[in-house]
Amino acid sequence: MKTFKMKNGGVVQLADKNKMEEWPIELPLLFIEYIKDKLLDSYGSAKKEVEKYLDEILKEVAIPRLISVLEGEDNEEIVLALTRIEEISKKNAEMAKPISKYLDDLLKRNNKQIVKLAKKISGNFAKAERKKELAKKRNVMRDKEKLFLEGKINGEEYAKARLEYLTLKE
């Protein structure tokens, strides 16, 4: 177990990343998501250190293991892995992002289930990307509004920015 000490004297112990090599292929990713969603906020002063450890697990264990499956020929295993990745990409696209470069290849596979899941994951990535874009534009829009009210930009420039924002929102 990997031990994290908190300033209040408490201790949190998480499974060792080496042990995760023996786990079912999708489990390390589920583990990371589980800890982030349900427990991380309760870790107090150890939160940052645990976050760093979870990132290590993601980079060193979870993603490489998934990739080894996606690059293989066992369709049953690929479907199992993609089902979990789809669930994760819906909730947290960033976490599943490292597999995006394999999607083109998966979409060309001769297996309906694999193609269907790959499409869904692609869709979830696109949705997440649009959300990110929108958040960026919203900030730009707020600045433009401020400048417009202060008379530093004209109506035409403001209307152009507003149109861009609304188009993206729709």
Partner 1 sequence: MAKKQISKEFNLQAMRKLFLEYIERGKVKSDIILPPDTVKIDNLNRKETLHRLYKLVDDVLEKIYKSGRPSIELPSRSGTNIIWDEENDLLLLGTQIVEKQFHTLTSVADITRLMRVLEVVNELLNEDIHATKREVFYTDVNLFLEQKNSDKSIEDVASMLYTTRNSTHVVAAPKGTCVGRLRIRDKSDIIDLEGLGSGGWTISPMLDNIDIIESDAEFILVIEKDAAMMRLAEARFWRKYPCILLTAQGVGNVAVRMFLKRLSKELTLPVFALVDADPYGMYIYSVYLRGSKRLSYESPFLATPNIKLLGLLTRDLDKYKIPQEVRIPMTAQDIKRSKELLQEGYVLKNKEWADDIRLSLKLKIKAEIQSLSAHGFQFLTDEYLPEKLTTGDWIG
User: What residues line the site for partner 1 (CB under 8 A)?
Assistant: 1, 3, 5, 9-15, 19, 23-24, 26-27, 30-31, 34-35, 38-39, 42
CB 137 within 8 A of CB 165: yes
Nearer of residues 24 and 123 to partner 1, judged by Cβ:
24
Give the nearer residue to partner 1 in terms of CB position, either 27 or 115: 27
Instruction: Name the minimum Å distance from CB 123 to partner 1.
Output: 25
Q: How far is the CB of 13 from partner 1 (least distance, A)?
A: 5
Distance of closest approach, residue 12 Cβ to partner 1, in angstroms = 5
Q: Shortest distance, CB of residue 111 to partner 1, whole angstroms?
A: 22
Distance (Å, whole) CA 109 – CA 123: 18
Taking CA atoms, 20 is separated from 68, 105, 127, in Å, by 15, 27, 31
> Quick one: how far is CA 6 from the chain centroid?
27
Residue with the two structure tokens 């979830």? 124
Crossing angle between the packed helical segments 75-91 and 27-34, to the nearest 10 degrees = 10
Nearer to partner 1, 65 or 144 (CB): 65
Between CA 152 and CA 8 the distance in angstroms is 52
Closest to partner 1 by CB, 61 vs 128, is 61
By three-state DSSP, how is residue 4 classified?
A: strand
| Beta carbon of residue 40, minimum distance to partner 1 (angstroms, whole number) | 11
Specify the residue, 31 or 125, whose C-beta has the smaller distance to partner 1. Answer: 31
User: Contact 19/1 with Cβ under 8 angstroms?
Assistant: no
Residue 100 structure tokens: 């995006």
